[in-house]
Amino acid sequence: MEIYRRYGIEPIINASGTVTRLGGAGMSTGVVDAWTQAARATVPLDHLQAAASRRIAARCGVEAGLVVGGAAAGLLLGTAAILAGPSLARMEQLPDVHGVTHELIVARAQRNGYDHAVRTAGARLVEVGMDEIAAGSGVRATELWEYEAAIGPQTAGVMYTLTHDSRPHLADVVTLAHHHSLPVLVDAAAQLPPVDNLHTVCQTGADLVVFSGGKALGGPQSTGILCGRRDLIGSAFLQMMDSDERFELWDPPAEFVDRDAFRGLPRQGIGRVIKVAKEEIVALLTALDEFTPTVIEARVNEQLRLLSYIQSQLTPELAETTLEGPPKPTLRIRPAAGWTKRSVTEICQRLRAGAPPIYLGTGALDQGLLTIHPACLDESSIKVLTERLITELT
Ligand SMILES: *Cc1c(COP(=O)(O)O)cnc(C)c1O
């Protein structure tokens, strides 16, 4: 904590969860130790990424994997791999896509700000489908035939954002895409826990899958996992690594690259701007090792206990509370009408303005609800938070 005060910044109580703008989750002692040790020696990064690949492959049930600079970085690199494949010329050319097949089909309802990373690689997103449910008038979301109808000569692949209720199902989209020999890139950034998703998402046959390292995985904020097909991971690897090396001496890991297939080395590629450090790779791998069903079950039970404490302190006169269970325990709070004259937005503002600043989840303010995401809370912060909340609600 003191380290932040040295720079005049007061650490906050974070009830918003592992969001990037609030710095994500704190890392475990094991992860921080791994980081510190890794920072004290140097190793060839390609060998380290090869080791990471073996570890990720085993956990996710895929051919290969890379530690990348966040899930968004994984989307950029995954797209670059789809567009360039093994071609050195195309790696050099991106994000200019002149002469490169460069369209990715995406359900309109799955578009979101993170797909800027896909466009950054040079891809053009071709939207399909309508969400009649969102319109309140119907029952259908995007359908498979709409993906199929959009496939044309410029189609390079399919982009899919995974949530618990994304439609059509990923497995069906993968089957359709593969029928047309197209790869599928999946954004599963925030789909952990459950721990099982590490392999169940990949089991759908998706060619490339992206997970965030700095959310529930508990790794550094600037890490993520890109995993899937070996040839595509190889292309992503080449476009991220610093390859200013003599070709005669170049010894790329067999995990990613068939050296014989290359007549030269790529130059610094599009992924060079999102490089990852050795400490980050080691810390992410340590976090991945710690991310087991037993550890996560204990963590989730602790979160439920913390939320139940707040719930027990908020009497019905103050607020109505609803506790949502695993995989991501969440407490929703509806201030009792009559007690406080403040809107939920005002309550959030006042809690942020106090000392220490408290940041509640704001995802349900429109429904008049305050939200507590417990991922970054502990015993002592929960007490302070509860007291301050009661003051605001009274
Ligand atoms: C958080 C998130 C990302 C970005 O993840 P980073 O690891 O912060 O780069 C991308 N897509 C979705 C859906 C996310 O929730």
Tens digits of residue pLDDT in 95-113:
999 999 999 999 999 999 9
Q: What is the pLDDT of residue 136?
A: 81
Q: What is the pLDDT of residue 56?
A: 98
Measured from the Cβ of residue 113, the count of other Cβ atoms closer than 10 Å reads 7
pLDDT tens digits, one per residue of 228-266: 999 999 999 999 998 888 999 999 999 999 999 999 999
Ligand 1 atom nearest the C-alpha of 117 is 10
Ligand 1 centre to CA of 376 (Å) is 17
Which residue has its alpha carbon closest to ligand 1 atom 11? 189
Q: What is the pLDDT of residue 62?
A: 97
Supply the mean pLDDT for the chain: 95
Percent of the chain's residues with pLDDT above 70: 99
Give CA torsion, residues 202, 206, 210, 211, to 10 deg: -20
- Residue 333 in tokens: 């709070």
Give CA torsion, residues 201, 204, 205, 210, to 10 deg: -20
- Residue 355 in tokens: 């000392």
**Average pLDDT estimate for 351-372:** 96
Handedness of CA 342, 348, 354, 358 (dihedral sign): positive
| pTM (two decimals) | 0.95
User: What band does 132 get if pLDDT is binned at 50, 70 and 90?
Assistant: confident
Q: What Å distances lie between residue 13 and 21, 32, 190, 302, 385, CA to CA?
A: 13, 21, 21, 17, 7
pLDDT tens digits, one per residue of 7-32: 999 999 999 999 999 988 889 999 99
Percent of the chain's residues with pLDDT above 90: 90
Burial class (CB in 10 A: 0-12, 13-18, 19+), 224: buried
Ligand 1 atom nearest the C-alpha of 222 is 7
Burial class (CB in 10 A: 0-12, 13-18, 19+), 137: exposed
Ligand 1 centre to CA of 110 (Å) is 13
Which residue has its alpha carbon closest to ligand 1 atom 15? 190
pLDDT tens digits, one per residue of 159-183: 999 998 899 999 999 999 999 999 9
Ligand 1 centre to CA of 189 (Å) is 5
- Residue 45 in tokens: 């990064």
Which among 19, 20, 115 is the best mutation to test ligand 1's pocket, defined by most ligand atoms within 8 Å of the CB? Answer: 20
Residue 340 has pLDDT above 70, yes or no: no
Task: Identify whether 329 is preceded by a cis peptide bond (ω within 30 of 0).
Answer: no
Give ligand 1 pocket residues (Cβ under 6 A).
20, 70-72, 114, 161, 187, 189-190, 212, 214, 224
8 A C-beta contact, residue 113 and residue 158: no
Ligand 1 centre to CA of 163 (Å) is 12
- Residue 84 in tokens: 């360039």
User: What band does 74 get if pLDDT is binned at 50, 70 and 90?
Assistant: very high
In angstroms, how far apart are the furthest CA atoms of the chain?
A: 77
pLDDT tens digits, one per residue of 280-333: 999 999 999 999 999 999 999 999 999 999 999 999 999 999 999 998 999 999
Between CA 158 and CA 147, with CA 61 as vertex, the angle to 5 degrees is 15
Task: Identify whether 193 is preceded by a cis peptide bond (ω within 30 of 0).
Answer: yes
Ligand 1 centre to CA of 64 (Å) is 21
Ligand 1 atom nearest the C-alpha of 74 is 9
Residue 225 has pLDDT above 70, yes or no: yes
Q: What is the pLDDT of residue 339?
A: 63
Ligand 1 atom nearest the C-alpha of 20 is 8
Handedness of CA 177, 88, 66, 106 (dihedral sign): negative
